[in-house]
Amino acid sequence: MSDYKLGIPGLEEVVPVVKGGTNIMLIGPPMSGKEVIANNILYSGLAQGESGILVTTSMSGEDALKWFKDNGLDLEPHKPRLGIVDCMSQTIGLAIGDTENIKRVSSPVNLTGISVGITNFFEDFWMKKQVRKARLCVYSLSTMLMYSNLQTVFRFLHVFTGRIKTADALGIYVVEQGMHDDATINTLKQLLDGVLEVKVENDSCFLRAMGMSQKPTKWYEYEVEGSKINIKYSYVRPAPP
Amino acid sequence: MIETGIPKLDEYLDGGIPTGKSLVYLIHPGVEGDVFGMQSLYHNLEKGVKGIYVTSTASPHAIRDRFEELGWDLNSHRDHLIIVDAYSALIGQDSEERYLVEDPEDTASILKTVEKALEENPRGLLVCESLSNIMDLAGEEDTLQLLQDFHKVLVLYDTVSICNFTAWPYSDETIRRIKDELFNAVVKVGGIAERVIFGQYYGVSKVDWTQTKDATMLFRVIKPGGVKAFIPKILVTGPYHAGKSTFIHSISTRAVSVNRLGTTIALDHGHIEHRGISADIFGTPGQERFDPILKLLGGEALGVFLVVDSTQPTSFPRAKTMLELTKTFGLPTVVIANKQDLSGAMKPDDLRDRMKLPRDIPILPAVATSKTGVTDAFEMLLKRIMEGL
C-alpha cells in the first residue's frame, strides 16, 4: 500500500501521510485559496515522481498549466506524468484539440467523456510509464453539480472513488461551500474517506483535516502567498455546533 | 440491413442490424465506447444511408470537431446527416439546427423532436450519442418509457437505432431492462482491469435475430481511424529449458524464434487465431545473461504464461524472479506445468505448494511437445484477462 504526502508544511506534522486509496473532499468558501491547496497537493505528488491528473471544469487546460508557470512551479520535468482533463474549452466553443497533456471533454455534463479522459491517463501512466502512484484532483464537483443532478454526480463519484481505491491512488475533490445544501454535501461525503475543510473568519483563513488522523486536527490559520500555503500555527477553537 | 461498421461485429450480428431493430452499446464507465455510435453513423453515411444523430452532451459544433478528430469529415455528408440537438438548450446556447430539443430534461420534448426528424427522414439509422446522459437529465423511469416509445416510431419509419449507454451504477432494474428487454441486441463494451483499466473489449451479449456468438474482440480507438480490433501482447516467460519456445510454437498459428543451437537468444514470436480473437505472443529467453532485456520484452503485455519444467523444482525460484524481471508481476498470469509426460513431473497442486503461488493463479498441466493442454491454457489466460471486467 502506498503512502501519500499532502505537501502542505505544518499540516504534515499531524497528518504525515495519507494512505493510498483515500478520497478526500476539499471544501471551503470562495476566495479562500482552495485552488492553491489543491494545486499544491497535486504538484507535491509530481515533485515526488508520482503522476497527477487534474480535471478542470472552470478553467482551460492551458490556463491550468499557466497557473503553475506563473507561480514558479516548474512542470517541465513532470509533464510526462501530468494529465489534464479540460471540460471548459469546448463548452465555451473553443475548437482546440487534445495535446500530450490535455484531453478535452465537450462539457462538464459529459461525465462519460470525463471518465474516459481520466481512465486514459491512468492507463498511460500505469502501463506505459510504469508510475505506480497517482493523484487525481477534480476541480470542482460544484461545477459538475451545476450541470448534473446530485444523483448523477454521486454515480460518477461512486465509480471513481472505487477506481482510486483499486489503483491505491489519492483522490481530491473540490467543493465550493455555500453552493449546496447540507444534504448534498453529506451525500457526497458518504463516498469519501476524509475532508480538508477551509473556513474564513475575520478575513483570516483556517484549515483542518478530518478522517486522516485519529481525530480531526485543530484549525490552522494560513496565508496564501503566490503558490504557497503558509501555516501560521495559531489555534482557533472550533465554533460550537 | 444496417451495418455497424465495427470490425468483426457485423459478422457476429449476421450481417448487421435488420430494419426496425435496435442495438445498444453497453459501455463500462471510462471505456471509449461513445466512438462506437459515431463509427456506426459515419460508416453508414459513407454508404449513402441517412443518419440522425441525437447529441446530448456537446454542441453540434463540438460533435463535428469530434468526428473530424477521428478523421471523419461530416461536411461531405451534409445531405444525409441530421443532428437532433438535445444539448444547446440545456446550457442556454443558440443552435442553428433544424431539430432542436426545447427541453432536454423532458423526454416528451426529446421524443417530439426525434419523431419529427424521423418523419422527415425515414428509412435510415438513428444514433443516440448518450442514452445515459438523457437518463441522468430526465430520470431513469421516464427514459425507459422514452425507449419504449422510440421503438414504436422506429418501426413506423423503417429505421434502425443504435444507442451508446454508459452503465453507471443505475438501479439494478434499469440495467436489467436495458440488457434484457429494451433492445434487440446488446453489445458490451468493457474494460480489462487489474489496478487500472489497461485494455478494452467488445462482444455481443444478446441478439434476437440470429444466434448469439460467443466472441469478444479487444480494441483501441485510433485517431484518426476510430475503433480498431486490438491484438494484445501476451508474454511467455520462465526459466531456461522450461519449454517456452516449444510452447509458443505449439500454441501459435505461426511462430518464429531467434535461437542458437536450440536455445532462444533474443525472443520468440507467435501469432494466435483462436475463436475470433487474434493475439501476438512474445517469449523471453530464460538464461540469466539475457536478464537486462526482460523488462523491455515484458512492456505492455496484457497477460503472462509462466512456463515451468515440472520435473525441475530447483528452477522454480528462478521462475518467480522472471515475473519480477519482466515487470509483469500482478498481470493476469497462467502457470504452465510443462513436461507432464516425463517421469517425476510434479502435479499442479504440488507445484503450487512448492512455488507458494496464490490460489487465484491457475496452474495448468501441459505437454508442449504434443500440444496437450495448450489450448486450455490460452482460453484460461483469456478468461483471466477478461475477469477483471
ipTM: 0.88
In a domain, A93, yes or no: yes
Query: How many domains does one find in chain A?
Result: 1
Chain B's closest residue to A122, CA to CA, is: B196
User: Averaged over A45-72, what is the pLDDT?
Assistant: 95
Mean pLDDT value across residues B37-62: 95
Tell me whether residue A142 is in a domain: yes
Report the residue of B28, B94, B129, B136 to disrupt the A interface, i.e. the one with the largest count of A CBs within 10 Å: B136
Residue whose cell numbers read 536455445: B263
Residue B365 to chain A, least CA–CA distance (Å): 30
B352-377 residue pLDDT tens: 999 998 888 999 999 999 999 999 99
Which residues on A lie below 8 Å from B196 (Cβ)?
119, 122-123, 126-127, 163, 166-167
B165, B168, B192: which to substitute to probe chain A, counting the most A Cβ within 10 Å? B168
State how far the Cα of B140 lies from the Cα of B174, in Å rounded to an integer: 7
Distance CA B123, CA B119 (A): 9
The answer to whether position A78 is within a domain reads: yes
The verdict on residue A44 lying in a domain is: yes
CB B123 within 8 A of CB B51: no
pLDDT at B323: 82
| Interface touch A106/B327, C-beta < 8 Å | no
Q: In this structure, is residue A23 part of a structural domain? A: yes
Average the pLDDT over A55-77 and give the result.
Answer: 94
Residues spanned by the domain of A41: 3-7+19-200
Predicted local distance difference test score (pLDDT) of residue B135: 97
- The whole-number pLDDT of residue B100 equals 97
List the single range of B89-93, B295-299, B337-341 with lowest mean pLDDT: B295-299
Put simply, the answer to whether A149 touches B136 (Cβ < 8 Å) is yes
Q: Mean of the per-residue pLDDT values for chain B?
A: 90
Phi, psi (rounded to 5 degrees) for A107? -170, 165
Identify the CATH assignment for B233-382 out of 3.30.1740.10, 3.40.50.2300, 3.40.50.300, 2.40.30.10.
3.40.50.300
pLDDT, average across residues A108-124: 94
Residue type, B85: D
Quick check: B195 contacting A, CB < 8 Å?
yes
Asked whether residue B328 carries a pLDDT value surpassing 80, the answer given is no
Task: Tell me the pLDDT tens digit for each residue of B175-226.
Answer: 999 999 999 999 999 998 877 887 888 999 999 999 877 667 888 888 888 8
Comparing CB atoms, the residue among A109, A159, A166 nearest residue B133 is A109
Average pLDDT over residues B260-287: 79
Contact A97 B58 (CB under 8 A): no
Distance from CA of A189 to the nearest CA of B (A): 17
CB pairs under 8 A between A and B: 106
Judged against a pLDDT cut of 80, whether residue B92 lies above it is answered with: yes
**Cβ A112–B58 below 8 Å, yes or no?**
no
CA B87 from chain centre, in angstroms, equals 28
What percent of chain B has pLDDT above 70? Answer: 96
The residues spanned by each domain of chain B are: 9-229, 233-382
| pLDDT at position A238 | 55
Sign of CA dihedral B209, B211, B214, B218: negative
Q: How far apart are CA B151 and CA B358, in angstroms?
A: 50
Q: B9-229: which CATH architecture?
A: 3-Layer(aba) Sandwich (3.40)
**Residues sharing a CB contact under 8 Å with residue B380, sequence separation 6 or more, in sequence order:** B334, B362, B364
How many angstroms separate the Cα of A70 from the Cα of each of A49, A174, B6, B35, B286? 22, 22, 46, 37, 52
Residue A171 Cα distances to A22, A26, A53, A195, B100, angstroms: 6, 10, 9, 11, 38
Read off the pLDDT of each residue in B234-258 and give the average, rounded to a whole number. 89
Please tell me the distance in Å from A147's CA to the nearest CA on chain B: 8
Minimum mean pLDDT range among A73-77, B89-93, B202-206, B271-275? B271-275
CATH assignment at residue A50: 3.40.50.300
Asked if the Cβ–Cβ distance from A127 to B300 is below 8 Å, we say: yes
pLDDT digits (tens, 9 = 90+) for A172-227: 999 999 999 999 999 999 999 999 999 999 889 999 999 988 888 889 999 998 88
What pLDDT is recorded for position A15?
Answer: 86
Residue A3 confidence (pLDDT): 93
- pLDDT, residue B73, reads 93
Is A196 within the bounds of a domain? yes
* Three-class secondary structure of residue A171 per DSSP: strand
| Residue B389 pLDDT class (50, 70, 90 cuts) | very low
Chain B residue with Cα closest to A105: B58
The answer to whether B138 and B107 are in contact (CB under 8 A) is yes
Residue A234 inside a domain? The answer is no
Q: How far apart are CA B51 and CA B44, in angstroms?
A: 7
Instruction: Report which of A142, A151, A204, A208 is spatially closest to residue A174, judged by C-alpha positions.
Output: A142
User: Is the fold of B9-229 the same as that of B233-382?
Assistant: yes
Residue B3: partners with Cβ closer than 8 Å, 6 or more residues away: B10, B15, B16, B17, B40, B43, B44, B47
Average confidence (pLDDT) over B242-249: 93
